Amino acid sequence: MSATLTDRLSAVVGRAFEAQGLDAALGTVRPSDRPDLCQFQCNGALAAAKQAKRNPREVGAAVAKALKGEAVFATVELAGPGFLNLTLTDEALSEAAQAAPAGWTAPTPQKIVVDYGGANVAKPLHVGHLRSALIGEAIKRTLRAVGHEAVGDIHLGDWGLQMGQLIVQMAEERPDLPYFDEGFEGPYPEESPVTVDDLAALYPRASAACKAKKDELDTAVREAAASRLAKAQGATAALQAGRPGYRALWQHFIDVSLPALEADYGRLGAQFELWRGEASVNDRIAPLVARLEGQGLLEESDGAKVVRVARADDKKEMPPLLMIKSNGSVGYGSTDLATIDERAEEGFERCLYVVDKRQGEHFEQVFRAADAAGIMAEDRLEFCGFGTMNGKDGKPFKTRAGGVLRLSDLFEMVLGKARDRLSEGGVGADYPEEERQAIAEAVGMAALKFADLSNPRTTDYVFDLDRFVAFEGKTGPYLLYAAVRIDSVLQKAAYEGGADGFRIGHEAERDLALALAAYPDALRASHDRRMPHVLCDHAYAVAQAFSRFYAACRIGDEADRDVRTSRLALAKATSEQLHTVLDLLGIALPPRM
């Protein structure tokens, strides 16, 4: 287990509190709120005074005195009612900055599955799936960076009502096909009767046929929709029960959908180790239901089988988890519970779900059921909900026509904007067209990803493409540009290492070293809170500190050789750290800009 800089400082200050007969935990050190006054601060004297009924300034003074002998601190000042303002020696700071690439290691590495992506086969990917893919990928990479064995599972939505809807729609439109004839003895055609584009067009028809408009007055129309829905539900149940024609057609749907999904996710940089889906656990459900029954956890409710998960101290009503619907089909809850059963059996010690926060109740039900059935303890099941990407009207982002925005259309929009921005800025004007394309792709994707990830996971945010692709401010393009610029400085100077630590002589060097030294703390916080935005904030702070350093200090053309070598080493460390953090965020860099 490695310690971050604030951990190490907290240990030092904690000892000084202990020497006063006080609790070491009071020595917690954090980055200063007033960087103009000091680098770090500790407010423990105030809490200590309350506990020990002593004067906080007196406690603070005693601790400060004890810290005077500590080599890491250049200054320890008592301020206000008892704050300790701490600043490191340049040697200590330089050492911490040099140690930063080691990051931070989790005390107990675990085998963890991250459930993210969650695309639904045959339904278009929408911006909610975009968020899941980006946040999930960053969380998974962060887990790995701190020592966990993390595996990503896309958990495709491939077993729900949309499958029955598609089957019934196909039966209506293509009754000539053999899949619907129960007497057919096979074999079924090897070739799919639909392409992925057919499927994309089929689904809206299939779904529309099951729905009457809310204000539909014509009872015949309403009844037709209701009867179609019942048919689709029946087909879903039959598919799940193994009706051969339906299974064969379903397999075609899956087979034509997967390459398109792989392409979309590939473009997003999401890499799933497991391409499983809800359907893959179908055979586990019957034995699981029998087990739940044996445990006395299963109840009948209007012909359905449910697990009651409500608790006495619930603040709001918690409906039971639906295991088997009255028509015999399984639902979202049953496949999720069976999936946990599979994951537990495969030795996963923890499951993380990166899903829209509006699904919180569903996961609460599933987790409680898993716990009650002894499948996996609740404290190993984690829901990492995320907020919505909204339009300027504050509602979930839609196309101008009011539909859900398809990911592929979003990509085109972003790419177009990135291209405009690049040509406005004259970036790559003399590069070959192919390279300009690649840069636009990198800038567009960085803009989209950084804009998404830089918001705290749980908050909603407004989609504002113009702001996302700006080269100024806290944006993906700004960070790419910063990283690429540093690399070109290093390249021009033909830096080949050889620095013996960072020699901090200038304020801007000190600030940059301080920013770099914060990486292990940022990594840890991002890991512990499952909040990739912490890493975004960190990368931005590093890039800004580098900008100030670049403006204030000569680097490659500095005359003093030792200073030059140290500055190049600082630039090199900055470049490496930005590359590391951007990689954790799943953001790829173009070789030049």
Tell me the pairing of strands 298-301 and 304-307: antiparallel
The least CB distance from residue 353 to ligand ARG, in Å, is 6
Collapsed DSSP state (helix, strand, coil) of residue 30: strand
115-123, 433-441, 508-516, 541-549 -> range binding ligand ARG (CB under 6 A): 115-123
Q: Which is nearer to ligand ARG, 337 or 483 (CB)?
A: 337
**Measured from the CB atom, is 405 or 570 closer to ligand ARG?**
405
Stretch that binds ligand ARG, among 73-81, 113-121, 142-150, 383-391 (CB under 6 A): 113-121
Beta-bridge partners for 398: 404
CB closer to ligand ARG out of 353 and 549: 353
Question: CA-CA distance, 96 to 513, in Å (whole number)?
Answer: 8
Q: Which of 140, 155, 457, 533 binds ligand ARG (CB under 6 A)?
A: 155
Residue 397 · residue 391 · CB < 8 Å: yes
Under DSSP, is residue 71 helix (H, G, I), strand (E, B) or coil?
A: coil
Shortest distance, position 355 Cβ to ligand ARG, whole Å: 4
Is the Cβ of residue 155 or residue 368 nearer to ligand ARG in the bound state? 155
Whole-angstrom Cα distance, residue 483 to residue 549? 14
CA distance 527 to 107: 12
User: For the range 19-22, what are the long-range contacts, defined as Cβ-Cβ under 8 Å and sequence gap of 24 or more?
Assistant: 19/66, 20/48, 20/59, 20/62, 20/63, 20/66, 22/48, 22/51, 22/52, 22/59
Which CB atom, from 58 or from 356, has the smaller least distance to ligand ARG?
Answer: 356
Cα 5 to Cα 78, 99, 246, 282, 580, distances in angstroms: 21, 9, 59, 49, 18
Quote the least distance from Cβ 415 to ligand ARG, whole Å: 25
CB of 287 to ligand ARG, least distance (A): 20
Instruction: Please tell me the distance from the alpha carbon of residue 124 to that of residue 55, in angstroms, as a whole number.
Output: 64
In the complex, minimum distance from the CB of residue 402 to ligand ARG, in angstroms, rounded to a whole number: 20
* CA distance linking residue 250 with residue 162, whole number of Å: 11
Name which position in 82, 136, 147, 157 contacts ligand ARG (CB under 6 A). Answer: 157
Which of 20, 103, 115, 162 is in the footprint of ligand ARG by CB under 6 A? 115
Pick the closer one to ligand ARG by CB: 27 or 124: 124
120 binds ligand ARG (CB under 6 A): yes
Name which of 124 and 590 has its Cβ closer to ligand ARG.
124
> Whose Cβ is closer to ligand ARG: residue 383's or residue 540's?
383
Q: Write down the least CB distance from residue 213 to ligand ARG, Å.
A: 24
Pairing outcome for strands 389-390 and 461-462 = parallel
Smallest distance from ligand ARG to CB 536, Å: 24
Q: How near is the Cβ of 585 to ligand ARG at its closest, in Å?
A: 21
Q: Which residue has the CB atom at the shortest distance from ligand ARG?
A: 118
Stretch of residues binding ligand ARG (CB under 6 A), selected from 112-120, 241-249, 297-305, 368-376: 112-120
* Residue closer to ligand ARG, measured from CB, 45 or 130: 130
Site for ligand ARG in 339-398 (CB under 6 A): 353, 355
- Residue 249 C-beta: closest distance to ligand ARG, Å: 20
Site for ligand ARG in 300-339 (CB under 6 A): 336
Q: How far is the CB of 502 from ligand ARG (least distance, A)?
A: 45
User: Who's near 127: CB < 8 A, 6+ residues apart?
Assistant: 389, 396, 397, 404, 405, 407, 410, 463
Q: What would the two tokens of residue 228 be?
A: 């179609």
Coil, strand, or helix at residue 78?
strand
Q: In what order do the strands lie in the sheet with 30-31?
A: 30-31, 40-42, 83-88, 73-79
Least distance (Å) between residue 296 CB and ligand ARG:
26
Size of site (CB under 6 A) for ligand ARG = 8
Window of 114-122, 134-142, 503-511, 543-551 that interacts with ligand ARG by CB under 6 A:
114-122
Cα→Cα distances 117→129, 155, 447, Å:
6, 7, 20
Q: Which is nearer to ligand ARG, 92 or 366 (CB)?
A: 366
The vertex-325 CA angle with 334 and 242, nearest 5°, equals 75
Cβ distance to ligand ARG smaller for residue 73 or 353:
353
**Cβ nearer to ligand ARG, comparing 42 with 166:** 166
Could you tell me the smallest distance in angstroms from the CB atom of residue 400 to ligand ARG?
Answer: 23
Among 44, 56, 118, 320, the residue binding ligand ARG under the rule CB under 6 A is 118
Closest distance between ligand ARG and the C-beta of residue 254, in Å? 14
Nearer to ligand ARG, 336 or 341 (CB): 336
**3-class DSSP state for residue 255?**
helix
Does residue 284 contact residue 341 with C-beta atoms inside 8 Å?
yes
- Whether 17 contacts 48, CB under 8 Å: yes
Structure tokens, 216: 């539909």
Contact between residue 152 and residue 116 where contact means Cβ atoms under 8 Å apart: yes
Residue numbers of the site for ligand ARG (CB under 6 A)? 115, 118, 120, 155, 157, 336, 353, 355
